[in-house]
Amino acid sequence: MPMLIDTAELSGLAAEGALYGIFLCLFFVCTRDLLRRRRRRKSALSWPMIVAGILLILLATARFIVDCTNISVAFIHHDPRSARLAYLQDVTQPLFTAKHMILIVSLLIGDSFVNFRCWVVWGRNIWIVILPVSISFLSFGSGCYLMWAYSNLPNQNVLLESTWLKMLFALSLVANAIATSLLAFRIWSVNRRMKGVVEESTSTLTPVVRIILESGMLNVAYLFAYVMAIGLGSQGLELISEMATPLTGIVFSTVILRVAHARYDDTFYTTNAPPTIPWRVARKSAKRTDPTTVSTRPDFSEDTGNTGNTGSTMEIYVHGTTTKHRDESEVELNAIHDKVALEGVPTTHFSSPDRV
């Protein structure tokens, strides 16, 4: 038996209430963390992020109130069930228009936030985000026309304008996919260049996985589910619709928390080249140990071959070992260096294969 619209609306309201509660808690946690981070690091707040968060919490609250009102009117003032179904399927009702306009605006804000992060990570290059931004506004325009058609054209129902519905969510899906892909590629490329310059304890692909999971894939999965529900003509799209606004806020909040607690924020990736360090760093081993080795030895120049050079330089090597026993080749190499330093024998500059 297919799902009827009153069942979908009631189930959607229950799911929306749970998601709204999660979003409300995350919003307060994010607000506290941002304020603490500002006091601790004396950094300025990101006002686009603050405005987006406030708008999303206001829209989620308004949508929850409208949905509660709509369900109350349907179940209290319309009986029997056939009258209730007719009311919920009436697209000319003001409550229907209000709740779906809130959804359309929420989608625009969610897309704009992903586009904004992509713009920041790519060094504020407008040409990088011009395509996803244009597609996002095309999606918003399709939604506005859809609401106008429902209110002004005769004999309308939700699925009669399925083409415009698919365009609304498909365009938003494409914009999210493009912006998220550009964002992930930028982070991956910067971390790839950083590999070998700075020794990290975690995988350099971790930020890419996080950004995909937090910023894009949840939105993409939701939008894909909505497009499939429209294509199948299922009333379950109302259930998905009611979950949309708080879900967008949850995705936004998780991104805020990642930025607040991560080692690098988005501005780190605006650098076109990785930073350099004035000493050599050994390659990362499978396991790390705390001790570091600092050694000094005379500087013997291979180019001049001067054995009477009394000048010396200090070289710092950072060793990471997997066991307590050194490799035999490294022990032999260190013995040669010690002999050269004591006897003053001219020789070429030895270097360990593990030292870069």
Instruction: Decide: helix, strand or coil at residue 269.
Output: helix
Reported as a pLDDT band with limits 50, 70 and 90, residue 23 is: very high
Please tell me the predicted confidence (pLDDT) of residue 49: 81
Longest CA–CA span in the chain (Å) reads 106
Question: Most confidently modeled of 59-68, 250-259, 278-287?
Answer: 59-68
Angle, alpha carbons 185-186-189 (nearest 5°): 80
pLDDT in tens, 276-309: 434 343 344 334 444 444 444 444 444 444 444 4
Over residues 155-164, mean pLDDT = 81
Taking each helix axis from N to C terminus, what angle separates 236-261 and 94-121, rounded to the nearest 10 degrees? 30
CATH annotation of 5-270: 1.20.1070
Is-above-0.75 flag for pTM?
A: no
- Return the pLDDT at 155: 81
Directed axis angle between helix 94-121 and helix 162-194, to 10°?
A: 20
Tens of pLDDT, residues 230-251: 888 788 888 888 998 998 888 8
Q: Which of 54-68, 83-97, 290-304 has the weakest average pLDDT?
A: 290-304
User: How crowded is the C-beta side of 124, counted as CA atoms within 13 Å?
Assistant: 2
Q: Tell me the two tokens of residue 112.
A: 């704009």
Show me where the domains of the chain are located: 5-270, 278-356
Tell me the pLDDT tens digit for each residue of 94-125: 999 999 999 999 999 988 988 998 898 888 89
